[in-house]
Amino acid sequence: MTDPTTAPTTGSTPAPATASAPVTATPAPRPGDPEITAELVADHGLSPSEYELVLGILGRTPTFTELGIFSAMWSEHCGYKNSKRLLRLLPTEAPWVIQGPGENAGVIDVGDGLAVAFKIESHNHPSAVEPYQGAATGVGGILRDIFTMGARPVAVLDSLRFGDLDSPRNRYLFAGVVRGVGDYGNCVGIPNIGGEVFFDRAYEGNPIVNAMAIGLMKREELITAEATGVGNPMMAVGARTGRDGIHGATFASEELSGDDDVSSRPRVQVGDPFTEKLLLEASLELIGSGHIVAIQDMGAAGLTSAASEMAGRGGSGVSLEMSRIPVRESGMTPYEILLSESQERMLVVAKRGREDEVRKILEKWELEAEPVGEVTDNGHFQIFENGVLVASIPALPLTDGCPTYEREGIEGDDVKVARARDLGHLLEPEGDLSEAFMSLLKSPNLASKRWIYEQYDTTVRTSTVVRPGGDAGVIRFRGSRRGLAATTDCNGRYCWLNPREGAKAAVAEAARNLVCSGALPTAVTNNLNFGNPLKPHIYHQLREAVLGMAEACALFETPVTGGNVSLFNETDGVAIYPTPVIGMVGVLDDVEAHAMTHGFKAEGDAILLLGENREEMGGSEYLYRKEGVVAGEAPIVDLLAERRLQHAVLGLIQKGVARSAHDCSEGGLATALAECAVGSEKPFGVQVRLEDNLAPVALFFGETQGRVLLSVAPEDVDRALDMARDHGVPAVSIGAVGAPGSSFSIRSPRGHLELDIGRVAEQYHATLPALMTRSNGGEPA
Amino acid sequence: MKRYHLEVRVKPRPGLLDPQGKAVAHALSDLGYAGVADVRVGKILDVELDAPSETEARERGEEMCRKLLANPVTEDFEVTVAGILEDA
Amino acid sequence: MKVAVITFPGSNCDYDGYQAFKLLDGFEPEFRWHRDAALGDVDAVFLPGGFSYGDYLRPGAIAHLSPVMEAVRDFAAGGGPVLGVCNGFQVLCESGLLPGALLRNPSLRFRSHDVHLRVETTRSPFTSAYEKGAVLRIPIAHGDGHYTASKEELAELEGEDRIAFRYCTTEGGLAPESNPNHSEHHIAGILNPARNILGMMPHPERAVEDILGSTDGLGLFESLRAHLSGTLATQTP
């Protein structure tokens, strides 16, 4: 029978497996290579001073191939040159951190001899150009980062942002990204357990597509990507190399301009989740076999980054023979082969003499494995083409010598103006706010995200305990009582108004979501999505956000174990909101007993509010929907109060007192109560009476942080309130869960809402589908 | 032996629900194309096949369709010899 | 009781099926690779969900030509029970072991959520532990689940009591909104004429433990165990 995974073999006779050359050997320019000029250097994204460094490292002019290599490795995407100094400010250590930043993924100890690898990564630019493939390959890449650590991927999450859905283009991008995330993860068979989506005109033209993956392994199965053992063969594994995605890493580090989306298309990679699934199984079998030393995905900057980073980490050298690389197209130059970002490829360092065993495992999974080079002791990254040296670069300066910059950061004037804006008039309406709430529910930022997550397989692997739609997703670990909760969070509006407070809020909300799911917040992976850092106001956002994140992560004892930086997210010079997405995981000691959901459980249960209500409307969804602006002061975050709150909530869940728990976030208290009411199969009624003498708009719709809604059995109210107060957390009983189908009623001294819960539920579920069935609803054939 | 280029067209059977076709028809109307009465979405497979004669090439193509390329429950197929590529 | 769990390249519910069989005393699940030309000494076969061969060409189209499917065909011809779930159902239809075909969901979207199923017949090795008319809550997760067949085949399925499960409302009624992929006759699962092959789109192996949200799929495995051990299954409501 035909084997669809095997491409026709090329006719040429392979050159000798590898050669090596003394480090003093000078590579020859290839015939046809362009001359190295100042323009060519600039086109490769290297500044004159960076080029000077290159000259210093090499002691000569680079060849065209070498210029391409430096360009990719010293791009922001690989070299982190504008962010590295700031990233050093983040806390990265804790006793439970097994692997911090710098590897394919971070790894933490989760007890019972198990370890979890997890990481988040962006695919913003590719998704702006081709949403389906951009998102799909984003998921593919992050899964490979997980299983190359030796962990089996067990969950994915996606954090997405788009412009407003009234534009057909945004609906097209949104629908395509969701389909891409879904198709890829569904096919590989990894459940999607959560994430977030946000719509705001700031993401017009530059959507955010961040994918997070989580993998599980036994502690001893951990493998790191260090090329060690001189003479060990390096093998290319998986799909063949084509011309797709060449210079994707530099592409990801440039601004998009409004009209180049079509011309950028050839750079976008195409994903093949079927090959990924085979690669996943083959890789885990390889790692378990003991035949290999290291394995790494050929991701951004492809073979170049995989090989040079493995050499850099291992303190060794590598030499690669280009004619041995299995290619999909003929006539590919070393430059193209080295920089191709064709998907579903891995670079493996095998143990010497075990090549056949490696090949046998790959063949079982209908994949190819070809020796393409070897580990050397000369510390150089050396590239041969049919035995002729075409590039020779010291590995360490290439991977670690990328210059880093600390830029000037100054707050933008537009933000100062927006922040100073008086929002007093917003608070004026009092009395019946029922219809105001109904129109708020028409916001896709508040409405149900079911339209999205019903396109994702959420139950494959039969380990999903809490599915998407609540505060955090929860999975169990088979053979252990433990489990893991995971979430992604960030409100870009708060971060734009005040990047430091906004980043703190993102960390705090992520931790709160985990706690509401019954987990102890444990560690963080972050995705810093920002504009062009060369602009002082953007660098200011970046620095402030990192400082806020560092402070919050330190206080919550949730170290950052890795992540991704995506800069230059601008369209026609306009940046997205600063969007430092926090991906956080938390451990549940007893997943069966402690996993918690947000939906009310029984009529007659008491509803408790933990935390304090304040009059804060800055950056709120209510303001954006009502006046189309983002203004005012971002909600303040009191980290110490937040920590007390989280301890209290987790205690109440672990003691079995809380029957449901839900974080209050976008859309305020009214929205959170509605979510609790409709979070079960038949929506419950809600009878709530608040005593706060605040403006009802702020009380119902304001987005004050640090609040959690709990439901408890009526007889447990006093005990629950006492426990909360023992932690120093303000706590009140605000009402009761009503009969299914009864009214949704919230009253305060100055205002009220009174609605049929059926109507609330209907609007909550109808908003997103209604927006997406509009004409040109983004369903390209 | 010659190498033939077979063009295999696989189409949803008449009357069978074709949601993709419906969606495309809808999108075309949205783009302002009046009078799009119906769209059906199928697929074309380009097969390069070495065979002693054109007739044999076509027959083998048809057999492939019956065995794998088309689902007889839901799809019709049509095999044409689109060209002779080279002497094999 | 040995159960062969078949793994095709791209299967991704093989492990879930394996685990579900493991939960019940008496079952000994074993993996079989798609290249295996023989099943060995087994009492039942499970064709799992997933995306065999990436669903390229058509879901199940390439997998049904695997060497192992020849063995499955022989096993079924001898009366051995074969359960195909999701992609496994698609493989069974493609191979002609079950009538009809599974087409793209009319919404053109992958659908992943719990559905309600009405047990239509208890006369099968897979459904004897249920009560006729019982309503089960079980997840679906598929992009190609729209069941279609010729008028004659549909009439046969109805007339011979070979529809095992239909999509229904929480109360067991048949309504368009409870038929997630607009399947003809609300069909979620069907039997072959000899009643030893069941294909179904919903995933019973994902509804076997309280922690997963439902145990309504257990009855299927209990039925099969009873069938294989020659005992009567205890009916679970």
pLDDT at residue A10 greater than cutoff 90: no
- Chains within contact range of chain B (3+ C-beta pairs < 8 Å): A, C
CA distance A721 to C119: 47
Any A CB within 8 A of C61 CB: no
The most confident of A62-66, A362-366, A733-737, by mean pLDDT: A733-737
Query: C20–A462: do the CB atoms touch at under 8 Å?
Result: yes
User: Chains touching chain C at 3 or more Cβ pairs under 8 angstroms?
Assistant: A, B
pTM: 0.93
Q: Quote the pLDDT of residue A264.
A: 41
Question: pLDDT tens across A156-197, in order?
Answer: 999 999 999 999 999 999 999 999 999 999 999 999 999 999
Taking CB atoms and an 8 Å limit, are C143 and A186 in contact across chains?
yes
Q: Quick one: closest CA in B to C57, which residue?
A: B69
Per the residue annotation, which of A44, A77, A247, A380 is the catalytic one? A77
Question: Residue A720 to residues A468, A606, A659: CA-CA distances in angstroms?
Answer: 27, 10, 11
What is d(CA A500, CA A199) in angstroms, rounded to the nearest whole number?
22
Going by pLDDT thresholds of 50, 70 and 90, the confidence category of residue A3 is very low
Note the residue count of chain C.
Answer: 237
Q: Answer whether C56 touches B (CB < 8 Å).
A: no
SS (H, E, C) A98-126: EECECECCEEEEEECCEEEEEEEEECHHH
pLDDT over 90 (residue C101): yes
Write out the DSSP string of A757-781.
Answer: HHHHHHHHHHHHHHHHTSTT-S---
What pLDDT does C233 receive? Answer: 55
| Residue C156 is among the residues annotated as catalytic for this protein | no
Interface of A with C in 256-285 (CB under 8 A): 272-275, 277-278
Contact flag A462-C56 (C-beta cutoff 8 Å): no
Taking only the tens place, the pLDDT of each residue in C209-234 is 999 999 999 999 999 999 999 875 55
| Min Cα separation C78/chain B (Å) | 24
pLDDT (0 to 100) of residue A224: 83
User: What are residue A709's DSSP bridge partners?
Assistant: A609, A662
If pLDDT is split at 50, 70 and 90, which confidence band does A118 have?
Answer: very high
Length of chain B: 88
Helix A355-364 × helix A273-289 angle, to 10° = 140
B69 contacts in C (CB within 8 Å)? 57
Q: CB neighbours of A284 closer than 8 A, spacing ≥ 6? A: A147, A150, A152
Active site residue C203: yes
pLDDT at A767: 96
The arithmetic mean of pLDDT across residues A383-394, rounded, is: 94
| C112 Cβ under 8 Å from any chain A Cβ | yes
Contact state of B41 with A780 under an 8 Å Cβ cutoff:
no
> Residues A716-746: pLDDT tens digits?
999 999 999 999 999 999 999 999 999 999 9
Secondary structure class of C230 (helix, strand, coil) = coil
Predicted pLDDT of residue C225? 97
Mean pLDDT of A568-575: 93
% chain C with pLDDT above 70: 97
Structure tokens at A781: 């054939």
Domains of chain C plus CATH, in order, are 2-229 (3.40.50.880)
Residue B30 touches partner A, C-beta closer than 8 Å: yes
Nearest CB to A182; choose among C16, C110, C208: C110
Contact check, Cβ <8 Å, C101/B20: no
Asked if residue B64 lies in contact with residue B51, where contact means CB atoms within 8 angstroms, the answer is: no
Q: What is the mean pLDDT of chain C?
A: 95
Q: What is the pLDDT of residues A581-626, one digit of tens each?
A: 999 999 999 999 999 999 999 999 999 999 999 999 999 999 999 9
Nearest to A454 among C50, C66, C112 (CB): C112
A contacts of B31 (beta carbons < 8 Å): 776
**Tens-place pLDDT, residues C24-66:** 999 999 999 999 999 999 999 999 999 999 999 999 999 999 9
C-alpha–C-alpha distance, residues A715 and A659, integer Å: 12
DSSP state of A12: S
Segment A668-695 shows an average pLDDT of 95
What residue of B is the nearest CA neighbor of A779? Answer: B23
Dihedral class, residue A345 (left if φ above 0, else alpha if ψ from -120 to 50, else beta): beta
Edge-to-edge, what's the strand order for the sheet holding A658-663?
A431-432, A751-756, A743-748, A684-689, A731-740, A606-610, A708-712, A658-663
- Summarised one tens digit per residue, pLDDT across range A615-658 is 999 999 999 999 999 999 999 999 999 999 999 999 999 999 99
Q: What is the mean pLDDT of residues A770-780?
A: 63
C119-153 residue pLDDT tens: 999 999 999 999 999 999 999 999 999 999 999 99
Question: What are the chain B neighbours of C100 within 8 Å (beta carbons)?
Answer: 73
Please tell me which residue in C185, C203, C222, C227 is annotated as part of the active site.
Answer: C203
Q: What is the pLDDT of residues A511-557, one digit of tens each?
A: 999 999 999 999 999 999 999 999 999 999 999 999 999 999 999 99
Kindly tell me if the per-residue pLDDT of A265 is higher than 80: no
In which element (H, E) is residue A58 found?
helix A48-58
Cα dihedral C223/C229/C230/C235 (nearest 10): -30
- Interchain contact, B20 vs C108, CB within 8 Å: yes
* Residue range of the domain that includes B76: 2-87
Say what the pLDDT of residue C187 is: 98
pLDDT at A76: 83
pLDDT reported for residue A8: 39
- Overall average pLDDT of the C160-189 stretch: 97
Question: Tens digits of per-residue pLDDT, B37-80?
Answer: 889 999 999 999 999 999 999 999 999 999 999 998 889 999 99
- C86 assigned to active site: yes
Residues of chain A contacting residue B27, judged by C-beta atoms under 8 Å apart: 776, 779-781
Concatenate the DSSP letters of all residues of C106-146 into one string.
Answer: TT-S-EEEEEEEEE----STTTTTSPTT-EEEEEEEES--E
Percentage of chain A modeled with pLDDT above 90: 81
Yes or no: say if A493 and A619 are a contact pair by the CB < 8 Å rule: yes
pLDDT at A534: 93
Cβ-in-10-Å burial (0-12, 13-18, 19+) of A47 comes to middle
| CB pair distance less than 8 Å for A1 and C209 | no
pLDDT at C234: 52
Does residue C176 carry a pLDDT above 80? Answer: yes
Q: How many domains are there within chain B? A: 1
Q: Could you read off the pLDDT of A392-446 as tens digits, one per residue?
A: 999 999 988 889 999 999 999 999 999 999 999 999 999 999 999 999 999 999 9
Tokens of residue A597, six digits = 């959901």
- Cβ–Cβ < 8 Å for A244, A300: no
Q: Give Cα separations from A642 to A139, A444, A515, A706, B16 (angstroms).
A: 33, 27, 11, 5, 58
Question: What percent of chain C is modeled with pLDDT above 90?
Answer: 96
User: Region B2-13: what's the mean pLDDT?
Assistant: 94
Which of B13, B20, B74 to probe by mutation at the C interface, max C CB count within 10 Å? B74
Q: What is the pLDDT of residue A32?
A: 86
pLDDT band at residue B26, thresholds of 50, 70 and 90? confident
pLDDT, position B31: 81
| H-state helical runs in A381-467 | 395-400, 413-420, 434-440, 450-453
Among chain B residues, CA nearest to C96: B73
Question: Cα separation of A431 and A410, whole Å?
Answer: 43
The predicted pLDDT at position A19 comes to: 63
Kindly indicate the confidence band of residue A299, based on its pLDDT and cuts at 50, 70 and 90: confident
Q: Is B74 on the interface with A (CB under 8 A)?
A: no
CATH number of the domain at B67, please.
3.30.1280.10
